[in-house]
Amino acid sequence: MKAFSLASNHALVTGSSQGIGHAVAWAMHEAGASVVFHGKEAAAPNMPAGSVYLSQDLLERDGPQKLVAATFAMRPELDLLVCNAGSFFDQPFLEMDEVHWDRTINLNLRANYFVAQAFAKELAARGRPGAIVTTCSTNGFQSEEDSTAYDVSKGGMVMMTRSLAHSLAPHGIRVNGIAPGLIRTPLTAGLNDPAKIAHYEKKTFLGRLGEPGDCAGAVVFLLSPAAAYITGQILVIDGGLTVGQIGKL
């Protein structure tokens, strides 16, 4: 269906050098978009021909604004944004310090907020409609052991998505989010205990951990004309992990 095509669009996907963001950026390219990949590392990841990679540390105070400015300089027609950058720096709550707290909130929440703001300012100045998708998490709805700062940051992302949808609707900019569950990415690479994996697989209706590609189609949909009347929504992508109470015994 043409309604699901991104053929006339130009997009920036933050945190797309690996994991979910990388899969999303590739899927958007396959849907026809011209995609700008982004990461902190200087070396570019595996990308489709014709794509652009920008390196920018979003923990720098003006990092979000610099990234958006550089993207518009290369792709003046930019109209789609995926706020995907984020990571996990938690310690147990009684051991948490301000350094790890600040790093979590500044990357997972502050950076995404100001990337979205810089993007929306450019679109509003041009009178151009657009769409944003944020990467939230099931941690934005349900807490996890030794994950207090991350949980707070993702809860903030959930409300940020709804609040930005409210603020940007008059400018013709839709804002939605995805909430991945347990996805196999570099962020979850430490999950190698067979007993824990078996526990999560029993708790998940579909019987497996997710892969980055499981999130990609949802983002393409939310950015496409097929979702033209959808804004302020969070689409949970967790194989049913957060739906049931106990799971298989």
Per residue of the chain (249 residues), give pLDDT as tens: 689 999 999 999 999 999 999 999 999 999 999 999 999 999 999 999 989 999 999 999 999 999 999 999 999 999 999 999 999 999 999 999 999 999 999 999 999 999 999 999 999 999 999 999 999 999 999 999 999 999 999 999 999 999 999 999 999 999 999 999 999 988 777 777 888 888 889 999 999 999 999 999 999 999 999 999 999 999 999 999 999 888 787
Q: Considering the domain boundaries, does residue 52 fall inside one? A: yes
Residues annotated as catalytic are 137, 150, 154
- Domain of 71? 2-237
Residue 13 CB partners (closer than 8 Å, separation 6+): 21, 24, 25, 28, 35, 36, 37, 38, 81, 82, 84
Q: Considering the domain boundaries, does residue 34 fall inside one? A: yes
- Reported in sequence order, the residue ranges of 105-229 that DSSP labels E, i.e. its strands, are 130-135, 173-180
Q: Considering the domain boundaries, does residue 246 fall inside one? A: no
Q: Considering the domain boundaries, does residue 118 fall inside one? A: yes
Whole-number pLDDT of residue 186: 83
CATH code assigned at 142: 3.40.50.720
Q: Considering the domain boundaries, does residue 249 fall inside one? A: no
Buried b (16+ CB within 10 A) or exposed e, 46-71: ebeeebbbbebebbeeebbbbbbebb
Q: Considering the domain boundaries, does residue 128 fall inside one? A: yes
CA atoms within 13 A on the CB side of 92: 2
DSSP 81: E
Q: Considering the domain boundaries, does residue 25 fall inside one? A: yes
Whole-number pLDDT of residue 164: 98
Whole-number pLDDT of residue 1: 64
**How many domains are there within the chain?**
1
Q: Considering the domain boundaries, does residue 244 fall inside one? A: no
| CB-CB contact of 91 with 100 (8 Å) | yes
